[in-house]
């Protein structure tokens, strides 16, 4: 499902217990210097990531100062984040002229400890190639490095390397918890939510959603600020030639945090043509 860019007035774009992606939560908060936003999300762990600007975050009395270093857009530096336990009371204060801050969340039933993630702690991976039109860079904020400190939530930022091309390919899905004959998981249920940005910001792209292999699916025209919710099916996306694409990625697991992607059988052979693809897969733990 596509949610067109709009002024959400600091209200959740994907609220708790959403009909389509109940395992996800997503809000965009825009503040000016000195303004404060407070929230608590019962039943969901969350992660605060400034897209631009710098904020101070208070999580039930634990204070994290000077979070965020980007000024112009999401290409202007590396992300930082604060992990917020389930139901914690949070106070976000803007300390620069303005901020746009993402709040990502996943359903979870236990309360853990808050912590911050600064630039040196990011988990970075680059994969694909210009030849295959799949050259991408991922910056994991809550990835494999924080597996033992988080319940079900995975948060990352994906960037195209260069202009144009595809992402999320070879096509994969993760909408069902299921095991193979050997008892090992071959796919996990993870709801997923994206928020897209383009450079220049009048660029755009396409998000595909194919429910079944070898049957026609849907396609959505995505623009700067578009939100996509993925509940079921194979979901590659592409950016138009001449433009760079970014998307903020939220994954929430039903039964486990580690993501097990099931690659579309029709295109599975492409796994052997894209450099570094399995290294990328291994980071979603």
Residue 203: φ, ψ to 5°: -70, 170
Task: Quote the CATH superfamily of domain 2-282.
Answer: Jelly Rolls (2.60.120.10)
**Residue 130: predicted pLDDT:** 76
CB neighbour list of residue 19: distance below 8 Å, 6 or more residues apart: none
CA-based max dimension of the chain: 57
pTM of this prediction? 0.95
**Which pLDDT does position 261 carry in this prediction?**
92
Q: Tell me: the pLDDT tens digits for 188-243?
A: 999 999 999 999 999 999 999 999 888 999 999 999 999 999 999 999 999 999 99
Both tokens of 105, joined, read 């969340």
The domain ranges of the chain are: 2-282
The DSSP code for 72 is: S
Q: Are 46 and 58 in contact (CB under 8 A)?
A: no
pLDDT under 70: residue ranges of the chain: 277-285
- Per-residue pLDDT of 236-248, as tens digits, reads 999 999 999 999 9
Q: E strands along 143-203, which residues? A: 153-160, 165-167, 172-173, 178-179, 185-187, 190-199
């Amino acid at each position: 499902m596509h949610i067109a860019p709009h002024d959400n007035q600091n209200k959740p774009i994907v609220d708790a217990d959403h009909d389509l992606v109940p395992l996800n939560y997503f809000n965009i908060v825009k503040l000016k210097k000195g303004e404060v936003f407070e929230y608590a999300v019962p039943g969901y762990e969350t992660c605060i990531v400034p897209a631009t600007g710098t904020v101070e975050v208070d999580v039930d009395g634990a204070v994290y100062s000077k979070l965020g270093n980007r000024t112009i857009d999401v290409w202007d530096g590396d992300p930082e984040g604060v992990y917020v336990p389930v139901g914690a009371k949070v106070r976000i204060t803007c300390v620069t002229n303005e901020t746009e801050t993402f709040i990502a969340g996943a359903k979870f039933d236990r309360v853990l400890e808050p912590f911050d993630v600064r630039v040196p702690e990011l988990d970075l991976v680059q994969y694909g190639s210009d030849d295959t039109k799949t050259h991408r860079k991922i910056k994991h904020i809550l990835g494999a490095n924080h597996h033992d400190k988080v319940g079900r939530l995975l948060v990352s930022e994906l960037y195209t390397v260069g202009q144009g091309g595809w992402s999320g390919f070879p096509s994969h899905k993760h909408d069902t918890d299921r095991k193979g004959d050997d008892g090992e998981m071959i796919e996990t249920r993870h709801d997923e939510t994206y928020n897209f940005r383009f450079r220049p910001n009048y660029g755009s792209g396409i998000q595909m959603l194919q429910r079944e292999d070898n049957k026609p699916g849907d396609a959505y025209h995505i623009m700067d600020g578009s939100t996509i919710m993925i509940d079921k099916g194979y979901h590659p996306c592409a950016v138009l030639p001449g433009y760079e694409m970014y998307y903020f990625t939220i994954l929430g697991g039903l039964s486990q945090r580690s993501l097990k992607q099931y690659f579309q059988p029709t295109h599975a052979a492409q796994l052997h043509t894209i450099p570094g693809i399995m290294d990328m897969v291994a980071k979603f733990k």
